[in-house]
Structure 1
Amino acid sequence: MMRRLIRAWDRLVRKLLAIRPVREGGVLGYSLRRYPGRGLETATGARLRRGDLVLELHLDSRLLAESAAGDTAHKRILRLRRILLEDLKALARQVEADPRLAAAAGLWGLTLLHRGVGFLGFTVAEPDPGTGGRLATWYMRLLLTAYHPEGEDRLQHREEELIAREIFLPMAEFRARYGSRARGG
């Protein structure tokens, strides 16, 4: 019963936030919004400031769980990596075709799945110490228990690792990495 309630709530939140899927069969969605955080800076010196326009990223927990059903943890990680790479390339094509999306400072999100996103080009940062980060962590943990095959067990054994973090990829770096120039076309 609780899982159904969490899943229904997740569908409602996705609708309210106007999250658009990047592509059919992908797990990544996005919405164009203003950055609500306190600001951050990447190792390359790119800055994100409160109020900057960002492509806010969202993982579709249901699709992610369905795509990884029955796999070992290692296979789930490899599958997620492959799907995310394809999703980011598809999003880059949309950015190249839509000036509204191209005007964003970059890709930003809050996630529990921040370990290992450096290979995708993202900078990982602590979120605001206030309520927003704690609420995001709580909500994402609920999603984890509702969708992940080992959700409740994973939460009990790794709770201290499952803290939401901000991820950011500046637009110039995103386009250089995933855009048509990076793909040779």
Structure 2
Amino acid sequence: MPSRALRAVFDVWESLFHRAFRLEDLEPGTEHLFFVAKRRYFGRGFEVDGIRVNPGDRVVELHVNNDMVERALREDGNVVRAMVQLLRQARISMPALARAVQRERFADAQVLYGVTMIHRGIERFGFHTYPLPNGIAKSLTTWHLTNVLKMLNPDANHIIETHHDVLQPKLVVASKAKIIEMFGEGNAVSHAKTTELSVDNEQAVPLES
């Protein structure tokens, strides 16, 4: 683990980040893999599940719970197995995410959006992934997420070197309607039995160049 001093600094940063960007728990008092926030999208335009997203549109921004990532990496040094563990946590969190995005404050946001290294296998939950466009934004995002990983695990450099293809930051998107359809009230129980095998056949339209 990182030194106590560095970890204390990171914990303070996490707390300030959550407050500054108004991240919300999916369910108050219950830990889940995701946090959400309402935000305007300022990246390149894209289309997902038939919904067009342009710069300035409202979106539901997703953030990964770094405490859960840390525990997964600490409990299992094998990155692939840790990713599987996080996928299980994602599946558990999906019904809560479906309920959260139906809150009144998210009524004008039709798409969920996030940038993360934790994306392997996420397609089975209704998401699509895009590689980040080359440029300064990609470099800064990669630098930031890499440093977050280093704070969470002292072997981060080795992990990144040996699993470079797995830990590339990607844009993760889904329509709100798709998430509600798959994991909303009455759908989550039946879908949970099939997510290990089912694959969403819908395709996302590539990011504009």
TM-score range, shorter chain: 0.7 to 0.9
In the TM superposition, residue 140 of structure 1 has moved relative to its aligned partner by 0.6
* Ranges in structure 2 where 5+ consecutive residues have no aligned partner: 190-209
Partner of 1:39: 45
Conserved? CA contact 1:102–1:171, under 8 Å: no
- Secondary structure of the residue aligned to 2:101 is helix
Partner of 2:146: 141
* Ranges in structure 1 where 5+ consecutive residues have no aligned partner: none
1:29 & 1:21 partners in 2: Cα distance? 5
Deviations 1:114-164 (A, max 9, x none): 222111111111334332222111111111111136423212333465332
Q: Select which of 102, 111, 121 maps to 1:106.
A: 111
Return the letter of the residue paired with 2:33.
V
Conserved? CA contact 2:99–2:184, under 8 Å: yes
Deviates more, 1:56-65 or 1:5-14: 5-14
Matched residue count: 183
Partner of 1:183: 188
Alignment of 1:105-184 (within 5 A): 105-148=110-153, 150-159=155-164, 161-183=166-188
In the TM superposition, residue 2 of structure 1 has moved relative to its aligned partner by 4.3
Return the letter of the residue paired with 1:18.
R
Return the letter of the residue paired with 1:71.
D
Conserved? CA contact 2:60–2:101, under 8 Å: no
Give me the CA root mean square deviation: 2.5
Instruction: Give the TM-score of the pair, scaled to structure 2.
Output: 0.75
In the TM superposition, residue 13 of structure 1 has moved relative to its aligned partner by 1.9
- Secondary structure of the residue aligned to 1:110 is strand
1:10 & 1:135 partners in 2: Cα distance? 18
Report the identity percentage.
Answer: 25
Alignment of 1:75-94 (within 5 A): 75-94=81-100
In structure 2, do the counterparts of structure 1 residues 66 and 160 end up closer, same or farther at CA, with 3 Å as the change threshold? closer
Q: Select which of 7, 16, 21 maps to 1:12.
A: 16
Please state which structure has a larger fraction of its residues in helix: 1
